[in-house]
Amino acid sequence: MTAPTPTPPEQILRRVLLVSALDGWSLVAIAGLGMVLTLVLGDWLGTGIGLLVLAAGLGELRGRHQLQRRDPAGMKLLVRAQLFLLSVILVYCVSRLGSFDGDTALANLTPEMEAALHEAGLARADILPLVQIAFYATYGTVAVLSLVFQGGLALYYRSRTARVTAALAAPPAAGMPD
């Protein structure tokens, strides 16, 4: 006997469970490794940011677990986890964008870099505008990509809430993923 074909709401529920598992476990793994690294390096700010990202990943996994227990409130947790993560990333990016210090950036030049600049006929001050542009472009790009990805994922979860709730209200289908 074959299993019945899942309804569209059940298919959406399965996709939401898959996406939340992939994203949640990715966040937990990356944040956990990043926290260990920043802790070893003595970077307390990085460790704190890693802890906040870890909390977002755990929140997403908790929302997924609620859905697996057939609790529709898990969808709200999925949306909140993405919005929390987006907030953490944007606050970090804005704080970094406001903290550019040209003297500190140039102090990080190694003697080999200094020699290469001298051979190219450039002074330290000549590369400062390029370093500043690269700095702003990096953090600006991270902020925009986060808006697209975390914001898009929050909208994805939010737009599927009604159909997931409908799937959870129906009797459980055989073969629902754990």
Q: Are 35 and 50 in contact (CB under 8 A)?
A: yes
Kindly list the domain boundaries of the chain, sorted by start residue: 8-169
What pLDDT, on the 0 to 100 scale, is given for residue 141? 97
pLDDT band, very low/low/confident/very high, at 174 (cuts 50, 70, 90): low
Q: Is the confidence at residue 125, as pLDDT, over 90?
A: no
- Distance separating alpha carbons of residues 141 and 59, to the nearest angstrom: 25
Q: Are 61 and 24 in contact (CB under 8 A)?
A: yes
What pLDDT, on the 0 to 100 scale, is given for residue 105? 79
The pTM of the full predicted model, rounded to 2 decimals, is 0.85
Mean pLDDT within 121-128:
83
Angle between helices 124-159 and 161-169 (to 10 degrees): 40
Give the list of residues 6+ apart from residue 15 with CB closer than 8 angstroms, or none: 160
Q: Is the confidence at residue 178, as pLDDT, over 60?
A: no
